[in-house]
């Protein structure tokens, strides 16, 4: 969902080069320099510039990207041929890389300050709260658990063991494990508050709710021997998450709750990718889990409208991409958006600009479903961290006609790792877990065709539910104003009844845990 932030910034830079009269971005470092002792002046300045920037975004970023992606067919004034535009954009994109290389910087380093010393007086404390603090602030019990993977990553996962309204203190039998998407965290499921957040809604429905955190995100930035700043730490993709993090978390929950625990899995975006990768490789988990519910599922990637497509062109040259994006972590949390979120109380207009435009750029825009008052909290928790290698892996798949396949090390190394010159595709026909897919028409990452093709591959499909609202997009599954009525009601219904016929009577063989 939040993948193409890079591209947003890239386009800002591109636009600057192309339109040297557009200076709207260059004020940014100056603002930071002087922010500590010119509060009033600065906030007026930012407000004013915020309005300009909004205009700038629409004119220079949004329109460019939509036209680059061939989505502005109605634009009759556009005389440049798409091919010309494409090659021009490619050239600009390369120039950005060359610049970043020659200054030995990542692109972000030039626009994202490491730290800003500025206190905002009346901001929402929830911006700064961790997931358990958010949960507790709403009166629910919250727990943190530490899980160590078999390759040494130290994960912190969160839990809402029972509803705050539960009459007794017993922890319910029904169990659900929720997995966030790329650049997300456990906070994704709770930051919308008790009325709208799926984590709370499931808790109220009588579930013991576990919230995973992937290696490298805000809550899982530790390893038993690898340094967090080393390439060794960040040398992973969603495949490694599926092989190590997911089994560790699932096994841990069963250790805590008992080996006969039947875990329901709910994933969003990359949280679905890792489930499909797990079930098609470590197939014993098809018997261990009870059912899977995939929101905005990402497996095949032929039908991508998101600007992440731009990265695919460079996916053959991994080194080049690593240089461009930073070899280790992609878009660290203290980048521009995080800075902005902390100062949102000062910059309402700017906040609006970001909302209306960069969200659109990321995942397709659905202004009506987006709750603006959540924006500061969202920006305070997102992005939560991801490896550049994961981005590269997705980009490779797009390049390879959307095949759902393992990481491509190049022909020579593929031979060593896989025994074949090309990486193996994930064997989706081995997925026997009952699975329901939830998709929407306006999803730039989980397109209609890809989700339909995935659905027919499933051995035990429950249902393919298409959200009955045309504008509903990738991130709306988490934070849309009407997500409860459009998605969660159906999800709860399928959770309760959808799989009872197919698996509940199955004998779970715990010995299958041994790989």
Ligand X SMILES: *[C@@H]1O[C@H](CO)[C@@H](O)[C@H](O)[C@H]1NC(C)=O
Min CB(166)–ligand X separation in Å = 23
Q: CA-to-CA distance for 415 and 421, rounded, in angstroms? A: 5
Contact 476, 368 (CB under 8 A): no
Nearer to ligand X, 29 or 258 (CB): 29
Q: Which is nearer to ligand X, 20 or 195 (CB)?
A: 195
Residues 34, 41, 90, 95: which binds ligand X (CB under 6 A)? 34
DSSP code of residue 501 = T
Q: Which of 130, 186, 220, 269 is catalytic?
A: 269
383 preceded by a cis bond (ω within 30 of 0):
yes
Q: Name which position in 16, 86, 144, 235 contacts ligand X (CB under 6 A).
A: 235
Q: Nearer Cβ to ligand X, position 58 or 481?
A: 481
Residue in 208, 303, 443, 450 annotated catalytic? 443
**Distance between CA 217 and CA 185 in Å, rounded?**
7
- Only segment of 11-19, 21-29, 31-39, 146-154 that touches ligand X (CB under 6 A): 31-39
Q: Does 374 bind ligand X (CB under 6 A)?
A: yes
Q: Does 367 bind ligand X (CB under 6 A)?
A: no
Per CB under 6 A, the list member of 20, 21, 26, 37 interacting with ligand X is 37
Strand positions, DSSP E, 426-478: 435-439, 461-466
Smallest distance from ligand X to CB 209, Å: 19
Tokens of residue 99, six digits: 């610049």
Q: Is 166 in the site for ligand X (CB under 6 A)?
A: no
Q: Nearest approach, Cβ of 499 to ligand X (angstroms)?
A: 30
Structure-block tokens of residue 107: 């692109």
d(CA 259, CA 262): 8
Kindly give the pairing relationship between strand 175-179 and strand 289-295.
unpaired
Contact predicate 212/153, CB 8 Å:
no
435 pairs with which residues across the strands? Answer: 292, 461
448 an active-site residue?
Answer: no
When asked if residue 158 is in the footprint of ligand X (CB under 6 A), the reply is no
Quote the least distance from Cβ 113 to ligand X, whole Å: 13
Among the listed ranges 215-223, 346-354, 370-378, 461-469, the one in contact with ligand X (CB under 6 A) is 370-378
Closer to ligand X at the Cβ: 153 or 210?
153
Instruction: Tell me the three state secondary structure of residue 387.
Output: strand
Question: Residue 13, Cα to own-chain centre: how many angstroms?
Answer: 23
Residue of 211, 213, 233 lying closest to 222 (CA atoms): 233
Taking a C-beta distance cutoff of 8 angstroms, is the pair 474, 363 a contact?
A: yes
Shortest approach of ligand X to residue 116 CB, angstroms?
12
| Between 389 and 457, CB nearer to ligand X | 389
393 catalytic, yes or no? no
Report residue 451 as tokens: 């989700």
* Complex with ligand X: residue 289 or 378, whichever CB lies closer: 378
Instruction: Count the residues of the shown chain that bind ligand X, applying the rule CB under 6 A.
Output: 13
Nearer to ligand X, 93 or 153 (CB): 153
223 close to 153: Cβ distance less than 8 angstroms: yes
Strands (E), 299-442: 329-330, 386-387, 435-439
Binding mask 456-485 for ligand X (x = CB under 6 A): -------------------------x----
The span from the CA of 126 to the CA of 113, in Å, is 22
**Residues numbered 171-230 forming contacts with ligand X, rule: CB under 6 A:** 193, 196
The verdict on 152 binding ligand X (CB under 6 A) reads no
Q: Does 281 bind ligand X (CB under 6 A)?
A: no
Q: Distance from CA of residue 310 to its chain's centroid?
A: 18
Contact 110, 103 (CB under 8 A): yes
Contact region with ligand X (CB under 6 A), list: 9-17, 30-38, 40-48, 97-105: 30-38
Minimum Å gap between C-beta 49 and ligand X is 17
- Catalytic site residue 485? no
Q: Which helix or strand (DSSP H or E) is residue 395 part of?
A: helix 388-399
Active site residues: 269, 443, 474
Positions touching ligand X (CB under 6 A) are: 33-34, 37-38, 193, 196, 231-232, 235, 371, 373-374, 481
């Amino acid at each position: 969902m939040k993948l193409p932030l890079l591209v947003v910034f890239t386009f800002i830079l591109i636009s600057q080069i192309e339109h040297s009269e557009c200076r709207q971005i260059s004020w940014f470092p100056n603002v930071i320099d002087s922010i500590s002792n010119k509060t009033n002046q600065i906030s007026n300045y930012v407000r004013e510039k915020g309005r300009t920037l909004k205009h700038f975004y629409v004119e220079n970023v949004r329109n460019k990207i939509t036209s680059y992606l061939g989505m502005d067919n109605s634009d009759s004034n556009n005389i440049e041929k798409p091919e010309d535009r494409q090659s021009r954009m490619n050239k600009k994109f390369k120039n950005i890389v060359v610049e970043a290389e020659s200054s030995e910087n990542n692109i972000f380093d030039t626009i994202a300050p490491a730290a800003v010393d500025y206190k905002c007086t009346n901001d929402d404390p929830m911006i700064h709260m961790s997931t358990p603090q958010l949960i507790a602030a709403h009166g629910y019990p919250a727990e943190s658990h530490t899980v160590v993977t078999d390759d040494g990553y130290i994960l912190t996962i969160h839990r809402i063991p029972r509803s705050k309204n539960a009459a007794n203190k017993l922890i319910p039998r029904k169990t659900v494990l929720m997995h966030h998407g790329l650049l997300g965290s456990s906070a994704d499921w709770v930051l919308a508050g008790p009325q709208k957040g799926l984590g709370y809604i499931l808790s109220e429905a009588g579930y013991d709710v576990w919230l995973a955190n992937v290696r490298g995100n805000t809550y899982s930035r530790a390893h038993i021997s690898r340094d967090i700043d080393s390439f060794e730490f960040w040398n992973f993709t969603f495949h490694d998450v599926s092989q190590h993090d997911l089994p560790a978390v699932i096994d841990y929950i069963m250790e805590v709750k008992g080996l006969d625990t039947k875990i329901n899995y709910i994933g969003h975006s990359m949280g679905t990718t890792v489930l499909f990768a797990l079930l098609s490789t470590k197939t014993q988990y098809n018997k261990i889990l009870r059912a899977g519910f995939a929101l905005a599922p990402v497996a095949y990637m032929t039908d991508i409208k998101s600007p992440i497509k731009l990265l695919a062109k460079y996916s053959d040259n991994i080194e080049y991409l690593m240089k461009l994006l930073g070899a280790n972590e992609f878009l660290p949390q203290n980048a521009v958006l995080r800075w902005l979120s902390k100062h949102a109380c000062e910059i309402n207009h700017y906040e609006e600009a970001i909302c209306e435009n960069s969200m659109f750029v990321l995942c397709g825009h659905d202004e009506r479903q987006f709750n603006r008052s959540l924006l500061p909290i969202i920006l305070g928790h997102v992005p939560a961290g991801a490896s550049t290698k994961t981005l590269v892996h997705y980009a490779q798949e797009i390049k390879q006609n959307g095949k759902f396949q393992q990481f491509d090390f190049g022909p020579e190394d593929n031979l060593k790792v896989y025994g074949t010159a090309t990486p193996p595709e994930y064997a989706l026909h081995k997925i026997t877990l009952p699975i329901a897919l939830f998709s929407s028409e306006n999803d730039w990452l989980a397109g209609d065709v890809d989700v339909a093709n995935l659905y027919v591959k499933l051995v035990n499909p429950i249902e393919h539910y298409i959200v009955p609202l045309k504008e509903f997009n990738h991130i709306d599954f988490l934070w849309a104003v009407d997500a409860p009525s459009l998605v969660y009601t159906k999800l709860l219904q399928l959770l309760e009844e959808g799989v009872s016929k197919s698996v509940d009577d199955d004998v779970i063989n715990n010995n299958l845990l041994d790989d």
